[in-house]
A and B are shown apart, each in its own frame.
Chain A
Amino acid sequence: MAIVDMSKLSVIGLNDNKSDVLRELMTLGVCEINSQDEKLSDSEWAALTKRDFDQSATLSTDMKISEVSSALEVLDKYFTGKKPFIKCRKPVSEAEFETKNSKPEEAEKFVALVNEKYKKVLSLKAQQTALLTEISELKPWLDYEFNLDMKETKYSSIIHGTFPNSVVTADIESRLSQEGSGCVIDVVSKDDKITYAVAVCLKEDKENVLSVLRQENFNPVSFADIVGTAKENTQSCNDKLKNVESELSSIEKEIGRLSENIETLEFYYDDLVIERDRYKILSNILRTEKTFYFDGWVIKSAVDKVKNVLDKYGCYYEITEPEKGEQMPILLKQNSLTDPFQSITDLYSTPSVNDIDPTPFLAPFYFIFFGLMLSDAAYGLILSVGSFILLKHYRLEGMMKRLVKMFMFCGISTFFWGVLFGGWFGDMFGISPAWFNPVEEPMTLLVFSLILGGIHIFVGMGLKAYILLRNGQTIDAICDIFLWYLLLIGIVVFALGSSIAPIATEIGKWMSIIGAVGIVLTGGRSKKGIGKITGGLGSLYGITSYLSDVLSYSRLLALGLATGVVSQVINTLGKMVGGGVLGVIVMIVVFVIGHVFNLAINTLGTFVHSSRLQYVEFFGKFFDGGGTPFNPFSRKTKYVEILKEEK
């Protein structure tokens, strides 16, 4: 429900026990080990200790990891079995993880084998491309029955090449014969742009002929390394291609078979990552000849477990409470109802030490706003049931799990509002609303939305007041929050007072006047001289921001209308085709496609706009963010989740 308490930890122990201590702390995963850069730049510390860091071990493990991950990529590409829609970590017990990783040599061999096979695949693919290029280059010359490497006879030169189709070869021949250098140009083939041709002339005329031909955009083709006719070469290329392709497919099949063992590598990968992280953390540990030192943060409720480990290995340690306002890593903890909504907080920012955790306060509003904007009972059911199925079928974790769960909750809210406003796929079934139809009475919903917005903003201001009071800034709380409460409530009472009692108008008037005067007098209290007056007036001008904040909640109505009316459009379109079997089929198709589209686009819009109301209107009142999230020294595995055994 709040920001989790942390304790400061500093430890000195013997180097002999270091790896065991680190291993056990990693398994616990409740400590964050701080960087020691600051201490190392302190000359007293630097004289005694040095950084404990084994660069070569870290690097070599990193190399192994990159090899394994490229092998995994290859196997994943050729994996023939059924791939899950969402990839989730596989739960394994500690013992299973250890037995699976008991033979690293074999895993390594497997990695090498896969990577080698894939190298072969790549080289075969390159050969394949080269052969295909050659075949396509030879294709225009298939009808030329002489050897392509025959460039001359005893007296004549043979020049192969291409013209653009616009060139008329007979014209060139006659031009050349006028110049006294006879030449025969034989057209071999034509495609839609280029003419492929052979020019034959006397050897002594070759230079002249070539220069004339070049003027006509002739492009000589040399056929380097080709012996024999185009037909022969194409034939041999085709044969080679067949061999390459069959080899390729057999290797690819082999890799496909190997990919059945992909799990071995996934285990190996995670084992390596754990090992690498253990090497890496050493750079945050200081050492002397015989001892090591580190400090960091530990979750307060888990202090006893850490103590046990440290006692076991005879470490000297100190656990203290942080000073007030000291920067520390932030971990949030929620109850099961508000936990899904932490995703909204996480998407914004981690709270700072001075903040309060906004999640429990935003959760109910998010729930209500989301439902109000989507407000279709059928859509709500689809959203909830869909999310529920996702959660049942996949072991989702972290942000993903929270988001899906949040959509499940919000689906319930959507259902509720849908029933109130009579939206079941819009007006498809003509079910009458339990409360009222917003399309017919938009003003009612507009007022309702703005009231909800007002409450939301007031709660945000209240939280700011709480933070100020907690920090002992009582005057700030009174001037910046309570005077505003007085003014804003006063204005509302003044405006609505006449319909309640005549005296209410009077009360409202004086409340607003006192509030406004108070704000003008105190708004510039931190400024000097003339700023005291202008600052106060400036503060009062801030009333426009409250106005625009409240009006911003009109989107609750607008997006609710959007869902409802677009559904209505879809239903009207579907019913337009008329009766008959065809009409029914078209209607169903239009309904399904239309409503899926409407659900998708409106859920996106609703998600964005309910988040925006939290981030801009609500958080703007009290929340700073910018904290550092708690990053424990733990086993950060990618493919498997090692289940902790509770003793």
Chain B
Amino acid sequence: MESLTLFNFSGQFYALLGAALAALAGIGSAIGIGIAGEAAAGVVSEDPNKFGQVLVLQALPGTQGIYGLLIAFIILLKVGLLGGDGMVDITVSQGAYILASAAPIGLVGIFSAIAQGKAAAAGIMLVGKKPSELAKGMIFAAMVETYAVLALLISFLMINSITF
């Protein structure tokens, strides 16, 4: 633990770093929704009536950001930042555990949302040509999301098992 205390950071700092890391999944969602949005605007320029359909597809890469928020929120609750009693004292290693448990959703969230954005954009193109195939376009994008869901699950189970 010598090397960790070298920086003289407290456990709480690492816990907050974990919350921040989890919330970074929003980067991926923003990029993914942006990619899908560009495709959506293209399709709507051809046929404004498809707005509703393509909006549904555009929203799909947004979930990673929500999963990140979710883990960040649980971390904040756990360290007592949202409880009202103030932050609880945690050791450096406990803080580091929390940081580690935020890594899956933070990292997988970013990359899966970008990939999902591309799949959603392709789905939007599909809807542009064949409006009746909306469900299939949604499924293609949802195939990517599986891995964000798995990462969320692991992050959640890890945090849940940390005790102070």
> Which chain B residue lies CB-closest to A441?
B160
Q: CA A212 – CA B136 in complex, angstroms?
A: 66
A524 to B107, CA, bound (A): 41
CA distance A559 to B157 in the complex (A): 14
- The listed residue (B63, B74, B150) touching A554 by CB distance below 8 A is B150
- Are B157 and A442 interface neighbours, CB within 8 A? yes
Interface residue A561 (Cβ < 8 Å from any Cβ of B): yes
Are A442 and B156 closer than 8 Å at their CB atoms? yes
Q: Is the CB of A608 within 8 A of B139?
A: yes
Interface flag for A612 (CB, 8 Å): yes
**Complexed CA–CA distance, A286 and B73 (Å):** 71
Q: At the interface, yes or no: B153 with Cβ under 8 Å from chain A?
A: yes
Question: For the complex, is B69 an interface residue (Cβ under 8 Å from A)?
Answer: yes
Counting CB contacts under 8 A, is B59 at the interface? Answer: yes
Any A CB within 8 A of the CB of B70:
yes
Q: In the complex the two chains form, is A566's CB within 8 Å of B69's CB?
A: yes
B73 and A565 contact, CB distance less than 8 A: yes
CA distance A562 to B149 in the complex (A): 10
The residue on B at minimum CB distance from A614 is B139
B138 with A601: CB separation less than 8 A: no
> Contacting B146 at CB < 8 Å: which of A552, A565, A572?
A552
Measured CA separation A604–B141 after assembly (Å): 13
The reply to whether the CB of B66 lies closer than 8 angstroms to some CB of chain A is yes
**Nearest opposing residue in chain B for A548, CB measure:** B146
Shortest Cβ gap from A26 to chain B (Å): 24
> At the interface, yes or no: B152 with Cβ under 8 Å from chain A?
yes
CB <8 Å contact, A555 and B139: no
A-B interface contact total, Cβ < 8 Å = 73
Is B102's CB within 8 Å of the partner chain A? no
CA A555 to CA B143, docked complex, whole Å: 12
Tell me whether A500 is interfacial, beta carbon within 8 Å: no
CB-CB contacts below 8 Å: B49-71 with A: 56, 59-60, 62-63, 66-67, 69-70
* Cα–Cα, bound, A568→B67 (Å): 13
- The reply on B135 being an interface residue by CB < 8 A is yes
Task: Decide yes or no whether A337 CB sits under 8 A from chain B.
Answer: no
B122 vs chain A, min Cβ distance (A): 16
- The answer to whether B142 touches A608, judged by C-beta atoms less than 8 angstroms apart, is yes
Bound CA span A124–B139, Å: 48
B-facing residues in A551-578 (Cβ within 8 Å): 551-552, 554-555, 557-559, 561-562, 565-566, 568-569, 572
Is residue B82 within 8 Å, beta carbon to beta carbon, of the partner chain? Answer: yes
Inter-chain CA distance A446–B156, complex, in Å, is 12
Residue from B62, B136, B153 within 8 A of A557 (CB atoms):
B153
Q: Contact: B59 with A562, CB < 8 Å?
A: no
**Interface size class, chain B:** 20 to 34
A608 with B156: CB separation less than 8 A: no
Find out whether the CB atom of A616 lies under 8 angstroms from the CB atom of B139: yes
Q: Is the CB of A558 within 8 A of B66?
A: no
What are the residues of chain A within 8 A of B142 when measuring CB–CB? 608-609, 611-612
- Partner pick for B152 among A348, A558, A569, CB 8 A cutoff: A558
Q: How many residues of A contact B (CB 8 A)?
A: 28
Beta-carbon contact of A612 and B139 below 8 Å: yes
Q: How far is the CA of A234 from the CA of B153 in the complex (A)?
A: 70
* Main DSSP-derived SS at the B contact region: helix
Bound Cα distance from A611 to B135, whole angstroms: 9
**Contact partners of B143 in chain A: CB under 8 A:** 612, 616
Confirm or deny: A605 has a beta carbon within 8 angstroms of a beta carbon on chain B: yes
Residues of A within 8 A of B138 (CB): 608, 611
| CB-based contact B135/A562 at 8 Å | no
The answer, yes or no, to whether A347 is at the interface (CB within 8 Å) is yes
Q: Establish whether residues A601 and B139, one from each chain, have CB atoms under 8 Å apart when the complex forms.
A: no
Please tell me if A615 contacts chain B, counting CB pairs below 8 Å: yes
Compute how far the CA of A600 lies from the CA of B11 in the bound complex, rounded to whole angstroms: 37
Contact A555 B149, beta carbon cutoff 8 Å: yes
Closest to A551 in B: B150
- Chain B residues near A347: list those with CB within 8 A: 134-136
Task: Determine whether the beta carbon of A555 is less than 8 Å from that of B56.
Answer: no
- Among the listed B62, B70, B136, B160, which residue makes an inter-chain contact with A601, where contact means beta carbons less than 8 Å apart? B62
**What are the interface flags for B119-158 relative to A under an 8 Å C-beta threshold, 1 for contact and 0 otherwise?**
0000000000000001110110111011001101100110
CA distance A557 to B135 in the complex (A): 23
Query: From B151, which residue of chain A is reached at the shortest CB distance?
Result: A558
Q: Give A599-631 as 1s and 0s: 1 = Cβ < 8 Å from B's Cβ atoms.
A: 001001100110110011000000000000000
Q: Which chain A residues border B145 with CB–CB below 8 Å?
A: 608-609
Chain B residues in 8 Å Cβ range of A569: 69-70, 73
B74 close to A604 (CB less than 8 A): no
**Smallest distance from the beta carbon of B154 to chain A beta carbons, Å?**
10
List residues of chain A with CB within 8 A of the CB of B152: 558, 561-562
Inter-chain pairs besides A562-B63, A566-B70, 12 sampled, C-beta below 8 Å:
A347-B136, A348-B135, A554-B153, A557-B153, A558-B156, A565-B73, A566-B69, A601-B62, A605-B63, A612-B139, A612-B143, A616-B139
Closest 7 CB pairs of A and B: A347-B135, A558-B149, A555-B149, A565-B70, A608-B142, A558-B153, A612-B142
Binding site for A on B (CB under 8 A): 56, 59-60, 62-63, 66-67, 69-70, 73-74, 82, 134-136, 138-139, 141-143, 145-146, 149-150, 152-153, 156-157, 160
- Chain A interfacial positions (CB closer than 8 Å to B): 347-348, 442-443, 446, 551-552, 554-555, 557-559, 561-562, 565-566, 568-569, 572, 601, 604-605, 608-609, 611-612, 615-616
Q: List 10 A-B contacts (CB under 8 A).
A: A347-B136, A442-B157, A443-B157, A551-B150, A554-B150, A572-B73, A601-B59, A608-B139, A616-B139, A616-B143
